[in-house]
Structure 1
Amino acid sequence: MRRIDIIYLGLGIFLAGGLAYLLLQLVGLDSQQAGIWSQALLVFGLVGWLLTYLFRAGTKQMTYNQQLKDYEDAVLEKRLAEMTPEELEKLQAEIEAEKK
């Protein structure tokens, strides 16, 4: 994510909090109650996002990990494609020997 994306995201969250405050006032809450509830919504949203982040980090489903796995798979596929038929037979024999 680029820096400008983070700035836009922060600005969007800030505006969402203000919009929630205004909507809660339009619904009929006084300014103090609308402020409390809009802050509560933002905090719950932040905690929810944090929990999803921790889950993705704990299960290694982050973008970097996925890119690294894709790269490793691509390298292995390229090496396999470059092998001669004799080398493939030898590799297959080694795999069969390990299975037994």
Structure 2
Amino acid sequence: MRRIDVIAIGFGVFIAGGVVYMLFQAVGFDQISAGIWSQALLVGGLVVWTLTYLLRVAGQKMTYNQQIQDYKDAVLQKSLDEMTPEELEKLQKEIEQQ
């Protein structure tokens, strides 16, 4: 993620907090209650986002892990492409024996 993306997301969250605060006031909450509930929603959203991040880390579904797997697959495919038909046949027999 680029630096400008992080700034834009932070600014968006800031604006969303203000909009939620104004919506709570429009519904009829006083200033203190609207502030508390808008902060509670923003903190709850942050906690949920953090949990989804931790789940992706635990499940190894991060971009880095996917790039490593793609690289390993490409290296394996290249070595298979460079094998002669005799070598491929020998490899296939070894795999069938196991």
Q: TM-score, normalised by structure 1?
A: 0.94
What are structure 2's unaligned runs of at least 5 residues?
none
Which one is further off, 21-30 or 70-79? 70-79
Query: Size of the alignment, in residue pairs?
Result: 98
Aligned to 2:6: 6
How far is 1:70 from its partner?
1.1
Aligned to 1:76: 76
Match of 2:86, SS state, is helix
Q: TM-score, normalised by structure 2?
A: 0.96
* 2: CA distance, partners of 1:24 / 1:74: 53
Percent identity between the aligned chains?
66
* 2: CA distance, partners of 1:12 / 1:52: 19
Cα RMSD after superposing both structures: 0.8
- Write the letter of the residue equivalent to 2:7: I
What are structure 1's unaligned runs of at least 5 residues?
none
Aligned to 2:50: 50
How far is 1:75 from its partner?
1.5
How far is 1:87 from its partner?
0.7
> Which runs of structure 1 show a deviation greater than 3 angstroms over 4 or more consecutive aligned residues?
none
- Write the letter of the residue equivalent to 1:41: L
* 2: CA distance, partners of 1:23 / 1:74: 52
* 1: CA distance, partners of 2:13 / 2:41: 11
How far is 1:24 from its partner?
0.8
- Write the letter of the residue equivalent to 1:44: G
| Superposed CA offset, 1:16-36 (max 9, x none) | 111100111111111111000
